Amino acid sequence: MRLDLRLPESGKWMWMSSSATYASGTPLTVALGDALAAGTAGALLSGVPSTAVTLVRGESLLDGAIGAGSILLPAERRTAPLVVAAVPVHLALSLGWAAVLSVLLPHRATVPAAVAGALAIAALDLEVVGRAFPRIRALPQGRQWADHVAYGLAVGVVVRWRRVSRRDPAAH
């Protein structure tokens, strides 16, 4: 990944402008917009699989939030602070990974590539980083992997839709 910073006619360097591009040729502002939209969709939809299973089984819906909150507050034992801490953790992870994916996803097979990317993220999140957090480790891992697939699907669909919409504004 490289930034292509060009000198405008004034001779001054332009930072974070529409002239700054990634190696793929995607303007930086477009990639950030894709990341924000896709990350928001991913944040909202990624918990659907685990929530559905948890509801069907009559288990606590707070376990996932408590686990996420423990990343920020590992010594905390009270439920309310952990649930509150889960919000910025979940948003930061969702938006951050969406920024990475929105730049790296190919223009063809965007959605399958996003799901594959989300599975790679799951391996890192759950098998490497998550092992350091007992409350993450204690979560039903199959559901967590399914949530990552849902995240990748949401991110991939949004990135693909935004790319198609830019090419053909009448497409949506």
Write the pLDDT tens digit of every residue in 89-142.
999 999 999 999 998 999 999 999 999 999 999 999 999 999 999 999 999 999
Q: What is the pLDDT of residues 66-96, one digit of tens each?
A: 999 999 999 999 999 999 999 999 999 999 9
Q: Is the pLDDT of residue 10 over 90?
A: no
Cα–Cα distance, 69 to 85 (Å, whole number): 5
- Domain residue spans of the chain: 28-171
pLDDT reported for residue 159? 96
pTM score of the predicted model:
0.81
State both tokens at 32.
């950030």
Q: Is the pLDDT of residue 51 over 70?
A: yes
